[in-house]
């Protein structure tokens, strides 16, 4: 297998999601896989987990960065895959957030440990958000900060619009991250 990234997709408050929202999670994962397929790393095994509304409590809606930290610290999956938390709504001024870069092993990390994404917008927007936040965790920053490794309308732009997928330079950087297996 080519360099790949295994994911734990953790749907927060899944029992409160409509069937359309659950489908949007799957569609967003497919879009993210397509974005990464350009040059890699490939998305490998995707394990699915959920946290019921009752257990998640106030964390079903992310209202602050401290909520992100609490969520990712409480429910990290005890394996080597990258956790990707999916919530229906983030009320702050962002549609997703991630450590840049994420640190390994994830249990040794204090503070924000993993990407947290929302289903804001349509599936194209949320799919781009999934890829964008995972790429942050793998060490990429916004194109405005490192334009030399971005292409036009790149998914790592602050406001990406249409995306062209991962550039070779972005793939090279992400493939060196400890969450990516050779």
| Phi–psi pair at 90, nearest 5 degrees | -120, 120
Superfamily grouping for domain 4-181: Collagenase (Catalytic Domain) (3.40.390.10)
Q: Is 9 helix (H, G, I), strand (E, B) or coil?
A: strand
Question: What are the tokens at 16?
Answer: 């409160």
- What pLDDT, in 10s, does the model give residues 19-67? 999 999 999 999 999 999 989 999 999 999 999 999 999 999 999 889 9
Evaluate if residue 1 carries a pLDDT over 80.
no
Judged against a pLDDT cut of 70, whether residue 160 lies above it is answered with: no
Find the mean pLDDT for residues 92-98: 82
Count of other CB atoms within 10 angstroms of residue 74: 11
pLDDT of residue 162: 59
Domain ranges in the chain are 4-181
By the 8 A CB rule, do 70 and 51 touch?
Answer: no
pLDDT of residue 9: 98
Report the C-alpha gap between 132 and 120 in whole angstroms.
Answer: 14
d(C-alpha 147, C-alpha 3), whole Å: 24
pLDDT band at residue 161 using 50, 70 and 90 as cut-offs: low
Beta partners for residue 146, in sequence order: none
**Band of the pLDDT at 110, cuts 50, 70, 90?**
low
pLDDT bucket at 155, cuts 50 / 70 / 90: confident
- From the centroid of its chain, how far is CA 109? 17
């Amino acid at each position: 297998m080519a360099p790949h990234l295994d994911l734990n997709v953790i749907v927060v408050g899944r029992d409160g999601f409509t069937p359309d929202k659950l489908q949007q999670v799957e569609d967003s994962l497919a879009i993210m896989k397509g974005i990464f397929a350009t040059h890699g790393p490939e998305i490998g095994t995707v394990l699915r987990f959920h946290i019921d509304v009752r257990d998640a409590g106030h964390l079903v809606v992310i209202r602050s960065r401290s909520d992100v930290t609490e969520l990712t610290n409480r429910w990290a999956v005890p394996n080597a895959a990258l956790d990707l938390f999916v919530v229906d709504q983030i009320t702050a001024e962002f549609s997703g957030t991630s450590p840049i870069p994420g640190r390994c092993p994830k249990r040794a990390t204090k503070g924000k440990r993993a990407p947290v994404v929302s289903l804001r917008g349509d599936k194209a927007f949320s799919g781009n958000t999934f890829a964008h936040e995972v790429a942050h965790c793998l060490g990429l920053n916004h194109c405005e900060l490192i334009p030399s490794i971005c292409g036009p309308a790149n998914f790592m732009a602050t406001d990406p619009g249409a995306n062209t997928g991962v550039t070779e330079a972005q793939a090279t950087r992400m493939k060196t991250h400890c969450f990516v297996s050779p």
